[in-house]
Amino acid sequence: MTLMLLDSASLWYRAYFGMPDTLLSPSGQPVNAIRGYLDMTARLIGIYKPNRLVACIEGDWRPSWRVDLFPDYKANRLDVEGEEEEPDTLGPQIPILLDLLEAFGIPLVGVDDYEADDVMASFAVREKGPIKIVTGDRDLFQLVDDARKVSVVYLAKGIANHDHVDLKWIAQKYDIPGERYALFAMIRGDASDGLPGIRGIGEKGAAIIAKQFTTLEDVVLAAKAQDERLTPNLRKKIIDSQAYAEIAPKLVHCALDVPLPKMDLAMPKRPDRLEEIYQYQKDYGLGASVDRLIAALGW
């Protein structure tokens, strides 16, 4: 009973930049993100054959509780009006895509003041595996759990060359114990989210530390105690960033207590009539992309 969780924003950004902007509706509106999202979803269903499916969306891409902890969280992505920067021709496509997914009967879940990552994490710890988390965001590697059969379908290299991430993959990629990815990420930081990590310690230093410790609290205590597992240089950088280290676990870890709605996660059944879906297909020139998803769902 495989559950597939779609990191929807990650997919539609990837679709938008991966599909030609010459894909237009009859009225001339770009539909490349819509078509790419539908195509990717159809292919993923064909590859992994899930029994359950959820399209996860942002309730808030900068949750207030994370911003309260760290005001610079994702501040690098704000436009002059304080909103998230996004391409002009992407924004108008998203409401159409969400309406179309609803027409297909694909569950959409976003919860106020939580990111899609938090929604996926909460599903991942509450639902039975196997669980496939589909994303282009490595932050979600922290959710990988071989014992519970939670893995990440990582799309950084596209659908055709995507990686299926388990603990062994993480260990080989980063030279750390696979279950310590979150600790590694806290130390390394993430420029795309405006997170500095432990200043002056990059990926190599973060891996060295993650191989020897299990929590950031233990790392800070070891630095203060002049633990010889840490070089004097590393100890100094850790102590200098102690204030950040204290908030990093809550900031970086996905929330696991999101109040998820009660809903049927089963793959959508064919409706009695497909007219609404075919009308979207006609109105927006979605062509074979709609047909592929219909076929993938076995309708």
Using CB atoms within 10 Å of the CB of residue 254, give its burial: 0 to 12 exposed, 13 to 18 middle, 19+ buried: buried
Do 211 and 247 share a domain, yes or no? yes
Q: How far apart are CA 157 and CA 155, in angstroms?
A: 5
Q: What is the pLDDT of residues 57-95, one digit of tens each?
A: 999 999 999 999 999 999 988 887 777 888 889 999 999
Q: What is the pLDDT of residues 203-242, one digit of tens each?
A: 999 999 999 999 999 999 999 999 999 999 999 999 999 9
In a domain, 72, yes or no: yes
In a domain, 172, yes or no: no
Q: How far apart are CA 74 and CA 246, in angstroms?
A: 19
Do 223 and 153 share a domain, yes or no? no
Give the per-residue pLDDT at 271. Answer: 86
Do 274 and 141 share a domain, yes or no? yes
Do 136 and 283 share a domain, yes or no? yes
In this structure, what token pair is assigned to residue 9? 């924003």
Do 150 and 276 share a domain, yes or no? yes
In a domain, 11, yes or no: yes
Local structure of residue 180 (DSSP, 8 states):
G
Give the per-residue pLDDT at 85. Answer: 82
User: For 150, phi and psi rounded to 5 degrees?
Assistant: -105, 120
Domain tally, the chain: 2
In a domain, 294, yes or no: no
Do 70 and 214 share a domain, yes or no? no
In this structure, what token pair is assigned to residue 104? 């297909």
In a domain, 211, yes or no: yes
In a domain, 147, yes or no: yes
Determine if the pTM surpasses 0.85: yes
The boundaries of the domain holding residue 160 are 3-165+259-288
In a domain, 297, yes or no: no
Which CATH number fits the domain that encloses residue 37? 3.40.50.1010
pLDDT band at 22 (very low <50, low <70, confident <90, very high): very high
In this structure, what token pair is assigned to residue 195? 């997170």
Q: Is 226 left (phi over 0), alpha (psi -120 to 50) or beta?
A: left
Which CATH number fits the domain that encloses residue 230? 1.10.150.20
Do 98 and 146 share a domain, yes or no? yes
Dihedral sign from CA coordinates of 180, 185, 186, 187: positive
- Per-residue CA distances from 81 to 67, 71, 84, 218, 263 (Å): 17, 16, 9, 41, 36
- What is the average pLDDT value for the chain, to the nearest integer? 95
Q: How many CA atoms lie within 13 A of 289 on its CB side?
A: 25
In a domain, 239, yes or no: yes
Give the per-residue pLDDT at 255. Answer: 97
One-letter amino acid for residue 10 of the chain: S
Give the per-residue pLDDT at 277. Answer: 97
pLDDT band at 272 (very low <50, low <70, confident <90, very high): confident
Do 17 and 50 share a domain, yes or no? yes
Do 211 and 92 share a domain, yes or no? no
Do 276 and 244 share a domain, yes or no? no
Q: What is the pLDDT of residues 258-270, one digit of tens each?
A: 999 999 999 999 9
Give the per-residue pLDDT at 141. Answer: 98
Do 149 and 29 share a domain, yes or no? yes
Q: Are 107 and 264 in contact (CB under 8 A)?
A: yes
